[in-house]
Each structure stands twice: as C-alpha cells, then as structure tokens.
Amino acid sequence: MSELPPERRVIRLFPDYSRDWPLWENSTPTWDVGYTTTPAMYGLSADLTTSIAAWNSFWEAHFNDADGWDGVDARDQWGADGEEIARRLSEEVAEFADVQYEPWPLRGPIRPA
C-alpha cells in the first residue's frame, strides 16, 4: 500500500543566510518537495512574491547574527511586514496549506550606535 501526500501542507516562513527565499517545507516519504521552496512552487501572485523578496532583502541588509539589528525601527518594520506577509501567504495557499511564521530574528539584539 502506498502512502498519500499530506492532506494539508505546512509552509514555514523564516529567513536564513544566503537563501533567496524565506520559504521552507518539510518533505515526507510521499511528498518530496525538498526543504527550501520558492514562490513559483506555490503559484504565489507576483505582488506577494515581490513583497517576500523585499522582506528577505531588508532582513539581510539590517540584521547580522553576531551583532543583531542595526536599529529598533528596522527590527519593528521587519516584524510588522513579516506579519502582513504571513497573513497574505496564508490567504494565497489556504486551499492546500497552512503557514507557520517563525520570526526568530525579532529576538535578536540591537547593535549599539
């Protein structure tokens, strides 16, 4: 008896260094999507794809794992934008997936001025 793909997929949204897209999905023996995914794999709109790319680029420009955020405003803006992206992503994939938003960098320190 062969296994079926999961009824509901779980798309994880979080940034990581040197990754073009902050989209991830755990594969299973019957659902081998790899680990890193792209907007095209989910059929996301051009507008959301652009927003995700900008959000990821903003993080890379303003956060450093060793030193943290380059300012409170940058951290807060990235956090607010991430919540909006997670909401929009949830809407666009609602038919087949849930979104798990993991904004770990929000816990990072602020670099001294």
- Range list of H helices, the chain: 39-42, 46-62, 72-92
80: left (phi over 0), alpha (psi -120 to 50) or beta: alpha
Q: Is 23 part of a structural domain of the chain? A: yes
* Enclosing domain of residue 89: 10-107
Would you tell me how many other CB atoms lie within 10 Å of the CB of residue 23? 21
pLDDT of 29: 60
Show pLDDT as tens, one digit a residue, over the chain (113 residues): 456 666 788 999 999 988 999 999 986 665 667 788 999 999 999 999 999 999 999 999 999 988 899 999 999 999 999 999 999 999 999 999 999 999 999 988 888 76
Q: Is 112 part of a structural domain of the chain? A: no
Single pTM value for the model:
0.87
Q: Is 3 part of a structural domain of the chain? A: no
Q: Is 2 part of a structural domain of the chain? A: no
* Total domain count, the chain: 1
